[in-house]
Chains A and B, each alone.
Chain A
């Protein structure tokens, strides 16, 4: 079936089965592969994208749910918060295997957009749905603090 989808500032048409998760539309139909598949049950956060500015798990968001929404993936992020988050991630060499990091970054942007000066506890709460098997958590926490500091200045 054909659906229209607004993604990274443009409208695309895709032909997928009804009920297809947004994740697979993004990856298989639109070839935006920065968004990752980790679990398929909204338990790891690797598939996190922004829908109308808020982080959601695209593996549990379905094509029918996003007919009017603006979707942004890691490839389409823009603005001051996104820029500082990516810069902080690079500065502190957060990544290891890197597979979960698009999702981590999408969540971190969401956190700092809502809470510009998060505490460790705020970070732990907000980021708890994003798993990293390389356990880069200490650096994720530090990078969020660094981005927050740089956004102030």
Chain B
């Protein structure tokens, strides 16, 4: 997603907070002392028993945000960590907007970055009014009151929060409440506190959307179109009538599928198998992958848009170069394949509906469902539950699976609750993929090994064009998500030019964990490795030459690069047959370098060790940061090793995990994560671990075997993993 976590946005976000708190505090009306809960502001709820519930404006897909946001408020309120509860916020953009997006949603690794001051201030404001209320009650000065383990104390007096909430809720906190000094932090930076979901996700009690069941609910699955762009002509459900539990089948008004209803998930899946549909393919994507790649490659000769630099200058530099590299990269479409396939429940209420969803974009979902069902927006409620992974998938400009559910609900009469379930096959077939991309990079080096020309051309399907995000994310026809991490590289490359062409296809494209960086991290860092080799230089030294520290970004990039190399004993000789590769990349305001060591046995490759260095600014939860880097590394490596969505005559070749094989436990050895201690504003962590992983592996394979792969996945190039 095209979101910049600049310091300016960071400050802007913090200013917006003050007003929000005051509104929140004053809007809460009637309270009866000792009996009711009080919502002190949109993020802080205190129960009459004194317990704290933190309201989470971001959803939890595993990235640890429910722990992170809770840490910020619990820190300011000095409560006992294990006793704090969490609750997902309802859809309400006036209170719960992502301050970097302007809408309510999670993405672009912004959750902590946009909430850091907002949540701390919410906690500090609550602390202030609780203390003032206790001070009034006890007739002491607020400065005489302290909070220990969630108990207000002054001299021999003490009270839990619940005993003063009625009074506290009537007070208006200052717009800029005093925040704790960082030297007093007990929770921020604490390596020993547990995730908020560590128990409910180990005993089967955590509720995901697939676990939601409401009385009278029917199950619906969608018979999806076979090719992108295909439209339903007709269908025959007569054989489905023999399937036990089958209720009905109806064409979606978009003609992109058939909704199949039954009394259980299994019966709905069986009934779908029995339905025969006829499709109009006149506007469908009918190409095979080879043709798509060739068509995309043909766009590279004359880029439609100039993104950076002067191409003629770059080419001139290349013509005079002592050494020249011409590299073509082909990166396939990729599915996100979260463990929980897409699903949601739509339940009628007196005035509208409630959508139960692992909801990544609550206000977008609310609007989409309201439009389809012709309801007032406020009559569509969103109950956000845990999401079984997402990696970007659940947030999409059309809210695809939720709109399918809304259409199915409406088609059935709008009175019966429906649960829409996608199978894994739907997840692999029905679209929203990381877009296919082709890059051609021509690099010239002089005799000193200095880059004198870098002519870079890109063809990719635009994620943002044609969506409601176009106005925000596309400037001068350039979709930043096709070029991020390349045109704005931190490396000092004066002679660099970047051109872009849009590859056109009805295959739907979406941000996939780390978005454009998932492509450009590979392209830039493999090119850098090849250039270092051409220059006869060490890959780390070569990169450092281009990171002279002229910008803060260059300093931070160089720092993690050196840290990873140092921790991995970069220059220490490896056993025979082993190889080592490195990559560094900036994304979402964070800097990550990774070193991968592999061993080879015959033709088989095994990843032995991954060493990572990360600088994501101030760290709230060190263990969550480590976990997210571990996760990003695994996600990136699995895809680079063997994942692709490919097409034959427009039909996707893969269908489920056996042919879209996820990373397995035996694929990956030890991952060590080292963190840079920093006071910079907190930046992203859910995605930045991904971009360096693929190129570090590709570079390690080249180091061990001499084989240089630039068409992904690796498994399609005779690279086998043990």
Q: Interface of A with B (CB < 8 Å)?
A: 16-17, 20-21, 24, 27-29, 31-41, 43-44, 46, 73-75, 86, 89-90, 93-102, 105, 123-125, 127-128, 130-141
Contacts and interface: CB of A to CB of B under 8 A. Distances in A.
B423 A133 contact: no
Given A17-B245, A34-B203, A95-B198, A133 B265 contact: no
Nearest to A63: B266
Contacts of A140: 665
Contacts of B337: 133
B264 A102 contact: no
A20 B424 CA distance: 18
Given A33-B207, A97-B61, A124-B666, 12 more contacts: A16-B266, A28-B264, A36-B388, A37-B265, A38-B657, A40-B656, A75-B204, A95-B198, A99-B339, A124-B665, A134-B339, A137-B667
23 contacts: A16-B266, A20-B264, A33-B210, A37-B210, A37-B265, A38-B657, A41-B656, A41-B657, A46-B339, A75-B203, A89-B198, A90-B199, A93-B623, A96-B627, A99-B338, A128-B666, A130-B665, A131-B662, A133-B337, A134-B631, A134-B634, A135-B631, A139-B630
Given A131-B662, A135-B638, A138-B671, A29 B264 contact: yes
A25 B618 CA distance: 48
Interface string B338-357: 11110000000000000000
B195 interface: yes
Nearest to B662: A131
A97 B341 contact: no
B266 A135 contact: no
A15 to B, nearest CB: 10
Contact of B202 (A17, A95, A133): A95
A148 to B, nearest CB: 16
A99 to B, nearest CB: 3
B665 A90 contact: no
B389 A99 contact: yes
B208 interface: yes
B197 interface: yes
A136 B63 CA distance: 12
A98 B388 contact: yes
Contact of A99 (B208, B656, B671): B208
A90 B194 contact: yes
Interface of B: 60-64, 194-195, 197-208, 210-211, 213, 219, 243-245, 264-267, 269-270, 337-341, 386-391, 421, 423-424, 623, 627, 630-631, 633-635, 638, 656-658, 662-668, 670-671
A125 to B, nearest CB: 7
A134 B62 contact: yes
**From A36, A75, A128, A141, residue with most partner B Cβ within 10 Å:** A36
Contacts of B203: 34, 74-75, 86
Contacts of B638: 135
Given A97-B338, A100-B339, A136-B631, A17 B244 contact: yes
Contacts of B634: 134-135, 137
Given A39-B656, A41-B657, A135-B638, A96 B62 contact: yes
**From B62, B386, B638, B667, residue with most partner A Cβ within 10 Å:** B62
B266 A17 contact: yes
B633 A135 contact: yes
Nearest to B263: A28
Contacts, number: 187
B266 A90 contact: no
Closest 3 CB pairs of A and B: A34-B204, A135-B634, A99-B388
B386 A98 contact: yes
A131 B197 contact: no
B198 A133 contact: no
Nearest to A34: B204
**From A24, A38, A138, residue with most partner B Cβ within 10 Å:** A138
B313 to A, nearest CB: 43
Contacts of A127: 665
Nearest to B673: A138
A28 B657 contact: no
**From A16, A44, A98, residue with most partner B Cβ within 10 Å:** A98
B660 to A, nearest CB: 10
Contacts of B339: 36, 38, 44, 46, 97, 99-100, 131-134
A136 B388 CA distance: 13
A44 B421 CA distance: 18
A138 B638 CA distance: 14
Contact of A137 (B63, B206, B341, B668): B668
**From A39, A75, A125, A132, residue with most partner B Cβ within 10 Å:** A39
